[in-house]
Every structure is written in C-alpha cells, then in structure tokens.
Structure 1
Amino acid sequence: MDNTFHILNGDALSEFFPNNIKGQKLIVRECLVDGPVTTDNLEAFFKIRSEYLESNYNSEIDSKGKYFNEVVPQFQAMLNIPEASNVFLWFEDDLFCQVNLWFVIYLLSKSKVNLFLVRPAKHSPYGFGGLSESELESCFQNKTYLNDHTIFTQIWQNYQDHDLDKMKEIGLKYQDEFTFLPPAIQAHADRAPKDGELSRPHQAIKEIIEELGSIDFGKVFKEFSSREAIYGFGDLQVKKLFDEVHKLGKEKN
C-alpha cells in the first residue's frame, strides 16, 4: 500500500494536479484566516467555524450540513492517515494559506507521519494556479522535510490566543529556515487597527478606491490582490473588507 498523501489548500489545485505525482489527495476547504478559532476541542472548533461561515458567507455555505459534509470529513481523514506515511503539504506563502497550514500541522502533530512542505518557487498572487504541470512537478521535487513540527504548532496556538508577540518571536527565530514566516506574521499583525487608524487591509482598500476613483468591486479586488498579495484573500474576504470601508465612507459623509 502506498502511504502517500497530498494535502491541498482548496479544490482548485486538485483540478490540475500532475498525474505523474501519485498519492491520495485531501483538501482543506477552510479560511481560518477569518473568524473565530479559539476553542478547547475539535468538536467545538468545527461548531463555531460552521456557524461563523454560515452567518458570514451565507451564499457559499448554505447550511451547517454542507460544512460537516464537505469540510470536516477532510480534516478527519487527515487524522486517520496511517503511521509512517509521507504527507506533502501544498501551501503557498500568503497569510490565507499559512494559517490553514499552521492548523493542519497542529492537527497532525500527534501523528507519526513524515511531513514535507511544497511551495511555489516564488510568491505571486496566482501561487500554484499560475504554474504549468512541469513547474508543479518541480515544486514537488524541491519539497522541504519538516523535521520540527512544533514550530508551526506553536504558531497556530499563538494565533488562537491572539499572541502576536510570540508569533513574531518564533518567526524571527526561524526566519533563515522559513523565510516566509515573518512576512505572513507581520501581515496578520497589521490587521489590528492602531491608534484609531484603519487596519492595513482596510487602508489599502480605501487607498485603492480613491486612486481608481471607482467603487467597482472587480477593479478594487484585482488591485488589492496585486498590491497586498501577502494576504492571499479571495473575493469573499476582500468583499467583506470592501463593504466595511464603503460603509465607513458613507457614515463620514
């Protein structure tokens, strides 16, 4: 039996995943970068996540049933990966992907499996989506063995606890080995408003609207994705920011 597993961040990559790379594919269908993540156990975790996604992304998550039918089983399958399996984590460097990665490694932290990180050669708004089959195979060949799982497990726990100082401390400590950690952690820290000012993502949306002289969401989303690629937000996350900025603008006028 070939105990090889590929954990992909979202369904998109699975659609053009190279046929030459063998193994079972499991999908992370979450956006843990947004919403509550602090609970005492997995059962409670899945409950608050399903409730949050249902209330905030109602058009995408029609009911709790969809979350528990399409999202949770993938995580449960990860927990059931056999010992000594080789698990390849296909995640990019942006914050959206990183938060999901931290959780997955935390989830697998007690499993006796071999973890490998597969990343694009360089960060871009398109990530794996902008690569050809041969380029994806090259990414796989250049995988990194994760000898110490606790680095990412600690970051996830600090993320749950909203402990930015400890997150930054870990990022700096391991920046030579994992150069992608400090930028993602800093981007997360910049989501917190300071001294009455807008957060970095909100400020970026505001500036883009002003520069474009337009509230056309499609144009704003495209520019935000290019300018703030470090966040890796999809249209749903950016639309939420966009609506919040637009509402603030109306309140001031």
Structure 2
Amino acid sequence: MEGSILHITNGDVTTNYLKELKFSGEFITWREMLCEGKTTSDVGSEDFWKNRFEFFKTTYKVSKQKFIDYTVKEYRNLCNKKNQKEIVLWFEHDLFCQINMLALISWLKRYRKGYHISLVCSGKVGNSKKMFSISELNAKQVNSHFKNRIELTQDDIEYADYIWQLYCSDSPLRLETVYKFNPTSPFQYLVSAIEAHLQRFPSIENGLNGIENTILKISNNEKITSKKQLISMVTKDKKVYGFGDMQYEHNIDTLDQLFSSFNPVKLSKKGKEVLENQINFYGQIRNDNSYLGGSKKYSFLYQNETKKLLQITS
C-alpha cells in the first residue's frame, strides 16, 4: 500500500536523516516552537495560527509570507494526509520537542481518531548520561528506536491532550501538580520538560527566570569574548530546553541593560546586583504581552526553594 506509514518529525534535520537512511513512507515536518509565545488549545484553527503569527512577527520579526511558507503550508500538507495505516511521531527529550509533541497528539486526537499512532522519542541510550537527539544516533540505533517504538493507546492520547490543555490554560498552577501523577505514561521525558517549563516563570528572588539567571551566572563566572560564545555556553548548560541560537539571543537581548559589554561579555554593576539577589529586576523586565503557553509569564512567580509557583493577584 502506497505511503502506509506517515512519519511526522520534530524538524528538517530529522526528516532529512530518516530519508538518508531510506525509511519508507511519507514525511511531514512539524515546524513550530510552541514552547514559546501564546498558545491556544485548538491546534490548527484560525485563531491558533493568528496567535502564532502575531508572536513570531512581534518577537522574531518573521514576515507573513515566511510564516506561511515555512509552517502553515506544511501543516496543510499534514491535513491532506489521510490514507496512511500508521502515523509515527519522531520527537526528542527536550522541552521544545515535548510541547510540540503534545500539541500534535492533541490535533491527532481530534482529526485522526482511530488511527494507529506510535512514538519514537530519543534521549537516553543505554547507560549513557548524555541525552541524544535523533540526528546524533547512528543508523543501527535509529532502526532500533523505530523497531521499539511505543504504540500510543487511547488513554495515552487522552493524557497528552489533557497536559496540552493545561499548558494552554491561563494558569500553570494545575500543571505543576498533575503532570507527575502518571507513572505508567509512555512519555518518559515529559516530567523533566514540564519542570523546566515551570522554571521559566520569574523567580521570587530577583524577578529573573531560570534561563535568565543562568545567562547572568555564566557571564559572570566565565571569560567570554562574544555574545555568540555566550549563546553556545548557555545552550550547552540548558540542553533540557532544546532552544536554538535565535531563542537564546532574544533572552540575552531582553537583559541588555544588565550588561556593560558583549565584546568581551561583562555584567554591569546592576547585573551583578541582580545576580546576587540584591536587586529585584521584575519591574524592569515585566512584559504583559509575554506568554508561556496560555499563561501570562509575569502573572506568576517561581519559588526556587519549594519549586512552587505563586500567582500574583492585582
């Protein structure tokens, strides 16, 4: 049967690698980064894409044509693929991938009911502490992952959809309790990804989140000659997020006034005071249009000691 398997991958690198390895079937590349910006639970709807374009336009200056060509056209291709016997999802351990995976499963639940859906998720290999991306696996390892792919039950699909709904809700408070309580879940990397997500809300100590504090810490502790080198070091330190250079550069730019120089990289006096929790930067960095999923980023504070969120009531 022609195209009996539809592979939906986490990015072009994976798609091209699987094609190189002569995997049979058809391919769709899921080109989104739903871990950033406002999301609504109705994946694929007009409102959903409107929100997503607004985010890319304002945050990353992406043109409407580029957004359509790169993301929406591939989504339309997915909508037209209805004849495959099995849909195989190829995703990775990090937050970037895990959130995209949840959204896609939510869409499949709604529009591909009754289809045979399975999951390949890369991360740990054997006893290695290193977390691997799909493209870092050799041909034998990729084939082994594929052979041992997890068939998602209806309960698995419902669970992924539920976590997605919570991610898109206007409060992350339910998400911080519910995601831990499914020990039989096949989504083995979801717990660490959601924990990383919650740490993206500003800390109660200095108003910066986990990523922003790491940027300051590395800048203060290491001898770094350029912004490019700083991005590289933060990427290495925060692999759980799976972010690219563009995302970390945006993070660094929002902290611009805490640096006295980027060539070499040096914190300003205020930057050092914020890092040492002597100054709370919440008031200066707060942006009411900044969202993490469905929640306003600056409506919640993260307590590092208790690893809990507090809602700010006005």
The corresponding residue for 2:283 is none
Q: Is the 8 A contact 2:35 2:95 kept in 1?
A: yes
Of 55, 59, 65 in structure 1, the residue corresponding to residue 58 of structure 2 is 55
Counterpart position of 2:161 = 153
2-structure distance, mates of 1:162, 1:130: 37
Identity of aligned residues (%): 28
**Residues in 1 aligned to 2:132 and 2:122: alpha-carbon distance in whole angstroms:** 10
| Bigger mean CA deviation after superposition, 70-79 or 97-106 | 70-79
Q: 1:241 to 1:181 in 2, by over 3 A?
A: same
CA deviations 1:51-93 (Å, max 9, x no partner) are 22123223xx3x2122122311222333343267311110001
- Computing the radius of gyration from Cα coordinates, the structure with the larger value is 2
Flag the 1:246–1:176 CA change in 2: closer, same or farther, 3 A: farther
Within the alignment, does 1:135 sit opposite 2:144 as a pair? no
Deviations 1:4-40 (A, max 9, x none): 1111111111222153421111011111111111376
Q: 1:225 to 1:176 in 2, by over 3 A?
A: farther
Where 1:165 maps in the other structure, the secondary structure is: coil
* Aligned length in residues: 250
Quick one: distance in 2 between partners of 1:158 and 1:189?
12
Structure having the larger proportion of residues in helix: 1
Give, in whole Å, the separation in 2 of the partners of 1:80 and 1:47: 21
CA deviations on 1:88-115 (whole Å, 9 max, x unpaired) are 1100010001111111111111212111
- Which residue in 2 is equivalent to 1:211? 221
- Gapped runs of 5+ residues in structure 2? 261-267, 272-314
Distance 1:121 1:114 in 2: 23
Question: TM-score, normalising length from structure 1?
Answer: 0.89
Instruction: Give the superposition deviation at 1:162.
Output: 4.2
Deviates more, 1:162-171 or 1:110-119: 162-171
> 1:171: Cα distance to partner?
2.1
Name the CA distance, whole Å, in 1 between partners of 2:251 and 2:132: 20
> By how many angstroms is 1:233 displaced?
0.5
| Conservation of the 8 A alpha-carbon contact between 2:122 and 2:132 | no
Alignment of structure 1 residues 1-253 onto 2, 5 Å: 1=1, 2-17=3-18, 18-38=20-40, 42-58=45-61, 61=62, 63-82=63-82, 85-110=85-110, 111-112=112-113, 113-122=115-124, 124=130, 127-147=133-153, 148=155, 149-177=157-185, 178-195=187-204, 196-214=206-224, 216-249=226-259, 252=270
Match of 2:274 in 1: none
SS of the residue aligned with 1:164?
Answer: coil
What amino acid is the match of 2:119?
L
| Aligned AA (1:229) | K
- Retained in 2: the 8 A contact 1:125–1:225? no
- Larger strand percent: 2
What is the CA–CA distance in structure 2 between the aligned matches of 1:8 and 1:91, rounded to whole Å?
6
Distance 1:138 1:100 in 2: 23
Superposition CA RMSD, Å: 2.3
Q: Distance in 1 between matches of 2:76 and 2:12?
A: 17
TM-score (norm 2): 0.73
Contact 1:50 / 1:64 at 8 angstroms: preserved in 2?
yes
8 Å CA contact 1:103–1:153 kept in 2: the answer is yes
Deviations 1:177-233 (A, max 9, x none): 333111100100000012243100101111111121326223222222222111110
Supply the distance in 2 between the matched residues of 1:16 and 1:77 (Cα, whole angstroms): 20
- Structure 1: runs of 5+ lacking an equivalent: none
What amino acid maps onto 2:65 in structure 1? G
Contact 2:9/2:15 (8 A) holds in 1: yes
* Separation in 2, partners of 1:222, 1:125: 17
Distance 1:215 1:30 in 2: 32
Determine the C-alpha separation between the residues in 2 that align with 1:131 and 1:83: 30
